[in-house]
A and B are shown apart, each in its own frame.
Chain A
């Protein structure tokens, strides 16, 4: 364990040094992360005003709270492993990672966490500015605030697991662009990034409940908004854990099968 921590620390130092080199990329990431929730916040606020107050159970102030929290939760849970995947495998960039004495997933985990912490310093001020501009309103019970943190942690772990597994498909498909995009669209709609899930028609809501995407992003957000009853929260955690178990099993299996397929230079 001590050795593992030392490895993680070294990797984190390395990642931060690399990231700080490309400060403009950080700005671009920030624009991307802030812009999408901001756009949908504006759209839904406009709809709320046009309807004279509420859309479904959301007022303009509820939308503000929803999308600002969504921005933070999305930032904490998102990964870029799928976008790097086909490059990594097609170009053989995975080969040197395989030579290391630890599983390549270690490097990705640390890279992900350290980048998140770094970017949080930009996201939180953005959230403050948006809060001043849009006046969010949230009224969670104390238990929901406490439940939010494990929900957020599990959501991040689930999203990382699922996306790492999806990225492994590039062992079999060398051009991932279309697949990436399909996955991205599913996340966009079913994790609640376009609109709160309750504003979608019933079949979409059902799909969102059954598939893992809602539990990666929308669930912690709704929890902190105070919109989840204790009963539903329990079910939510159960679904989350179930998907996490499935995801971890799939990850192990895909990794083992994929590695046998791998035929890049140096493999």
Chain B
């Protein structure tokens, strides 16, 4: 309960800071719209020549695009800014201010920074997803909805833990902020279903950089092509990464000497 209140407090403080810059909202909205236009135009060009991309139909790919914006929006809303601030804190020695607070430090560094204007991306992703769902040939029943929700949750946990592990590396490598950029560069490949990529590339996008679990698997859930096995895999991976990232964080923290120590 305390943590929910803390979460809300961080959200409010960040929002208050950002609301000062209202032009940023218009800029962000404009950028999101351009991003959406680019995504749709890309789909348009491809589907002008075919009606089926590796077994995916246009509306199903629209669903992928929706999930892509939704998950990307959440990453840019809270995960990336928080992790960036954390890495900056390690570099500057200001992390001590977090460590001295009487709450779980991993929780604090994970939610400290919220860029509320990125909500536009989350919203836009939801709208695209909703449009795609109404256009699907089959109706989305309870099974698909649950599968989607479970896969999305697993995907979110996987992405968060992945970011967390990368960020924790900065206890050893001080200038590791670029590592986060790698994920974002590779994330771009997620706007297409990873099933179309050949062997090694698909493997990379599934396990090395878990774009598949972040986007393709939830989209498989909503389009009714998700198998129980894949969902189970996602669940297990989410659990393993979550526990692993927690362990790695504790381990890294025990090695951290701080600025004032």
**Are A and B genuine complex partners?**
yes
CB < 8 Å A-B pair total? 80
Q: Which residue in chain B gives the minimum CB-CB distance to A200?
A: B45
List A contacts of B255 (CB < 8 A).
none
**Interface of A: prevailing SS:** helix
Contact of B196 among A27, A28, A42, A195 (CB under 8 A): A42
Contacts of A199 in B (CB 8 A): 45, 48-49
Question: Does A18 count as interface, using CB distance less than 8 angstroms?
Answer: no
**Which residue on B lies nearest to A189, using beta carbons?**
B41
A25, B46: Cα distance in complex, Å = 32
Closest Cβ–Cβ distance, residue A16 to chain B (whole Å)? 19
Q: Which residues of B contact A188 (CB under 8 A)?
A: 38
Q: Which of B23-31, B100-108, B120-128 contacts A (4 or more CB under 8 A)?
A: B23-31
With contacts A28-B182, A199-B49 taken as known, whether A185 is within 8 angstroms of B196 at the C-beta atoms is no
The answer to whether the Cβ of B179 comes within 8 Å of any Cβ in the partner chain is yes
One digit per residue, 1 when the CB lies within 8 angstroms of any chain B CB and 0 when it does not, for chain A 122-146 equals 0000000000010000000000000
Cross-chain contact A28 with B178 (CB below 8 angstroms): yes
B141 within 8 A of A: no
B37 pairs with A185, CB closer than 8 A: yes
Q: Does A50 contact B (CB under 8 A)?
A: yes
B233 interfacial contact with A, CB 8 Å: no
A44 CA to B181 CA, complexed, in Å? 26
Among the 9-residue stretches A174-182, A207-215, A234-242, A248-256, the one with 4 or more Cβ atoms under 8 Å from chain B is: A174-182
Q: Is the CB of A50 within 8 A of B53?
A: yes
Task: Tell me whether B228 is interfacial, beta carbon within 8 Å.
Answer: no
Q: Which of A42, A46, A175, A199 has the most CB of B within 10 A?
A: A46
Q: Which residues of B contact A181 (CB under 8 A)?
A: 31, 34-35
A175 to B25, CA, bound (A): 13
Give A195 to B182 CA distance when docked, in angstroms. 24
CB distance from A71 to the nearest CB of B (A): 15
A43 on interface, CB distance cutoff 8 Å: yes
**Given A28-B178, A46-B53, CB of A35 within 8 Å of CB of B30:** no
Q: A42-B197, A185-B37, A194-B42 are in contact. Are A47 and B53 (CB under 8 A)?
A: yes
A136 to B174, CA, bound (A): 42
CA distance A212 to B174 in the complex (A): 42
Contacts of A96 in B (CB 8 A): none
Q: Is A36 an interface residue (CB 8 A)?
A: yes
Are B27 and A175 in contact, CB atoms less than 8 angstroms apart?
yes
Residues of the A chain whose Cβ atoms lie less than 8 Å from the Cβ of B182: 27-28, 31
* Residue from B31, B35, B45, B189 within 8 A of A195 (CB atoms): B45
CB distance from B42 to the nearest CB of A (A): 6
Q: What does DSSP make chain B's interface, helix, strand, loop or mixed?
A: helix
- Bound-state CA distance A265–B69 (Å) is 39
Measured between beta carbons, the chain A residues less than 8 angstroms from B236 are none
Q: Is A56's beta carbon under 8 Å from chain B? A: yes
Residues B50 and A39 in contact, CB atoms below 8 Å apart:
no
Size of interface on B: residues with Cβ below 8 Å to A: 33
Complex CA–CA separation, A133 to B35 (angstroms)? 31
Asked if A17 CB lies within 8 Å of chain B CBs, one says: no
- Pair A38/B201 contact, Cβ less than 8 Å: yes
Chain B: CB-nearest residue to A21:
B175
A24→B178 contact, CB < 8 A = yes
Interfacial chain A residues near B54, Cβ < 8 Å? 46, 50
B7-50 residues at the A interface, CB under 8 angstroms: 23, 27, 30-31, 34-35, 37-38, 41-42, 45-46, 48-50
A55, B48: Cα distance in complex, Å: 10
Q: Enumerate chain B residues within 8 angstroms of A32, measured Cβ to Cβ.
A: 185
Q: Within 8 Å CB of A47, what residues of B?
A: 46, 49-50, 53
How would residues 27 to 69 of chain A score, 1 for a CB under 8 Å from any chain B CB and 0 otherwise?
1100110011011001110110011000110000000000000
Residues of A near B259 (CB, < 8 A) are none
B250 at the interface (CB under 8 A from A): no
Whether the pair B198, A133 counts as a contact (CB closer than 8 A) is: yes
Residues of A within 8 A of B179 (CB): 24
Q: Does A201 contact B (CB under 8 A)?
A: yes
Whole-angstrom distance between the Cβ of B239 and the nearest chain A Cβ: 28
B139 at the interface (CB under 8 A from A): no
Bound together, the chains give a CA A31 to CA B189 distance in angstroms of 11
Instruction: Give chain B residues whose Cβ lies under 8 Å from the Cβ of A50.
Output: 50, 52-54
Mark each residue of chain B from 50 to 62: 1 if its CB lies under 8 Å from any CB of chain A, else 0. 1011100000000
Which listed residue (A31, A46, A201) contacts B48, Cβ 8 A? A201
Residues of B with Cβ closer than 8 Å to A? Answer: 23, 27, 30-31, 34-35, 37-38, 41-42, 45-46, 48-50, 52-54, 175-176, 178-179, 181-182, 185-186, 188-189, 192, 196-198, 201
A interface residues with partner B (beta carbon < 8 Å):
22, 24-25, 27-28, 31-32, 35-36, 38-39, 42-44, 46-47, 50-51, 55-56, 133, 175, 177-178, 181-182, 185, 188-189, 194-195, 199-201
Nearest first, the 6 closest Cβ-Cβ pairs linking A and B are A46-B196, A47-B50, A178-B30, A32-B185, A46-B54, A24-B178
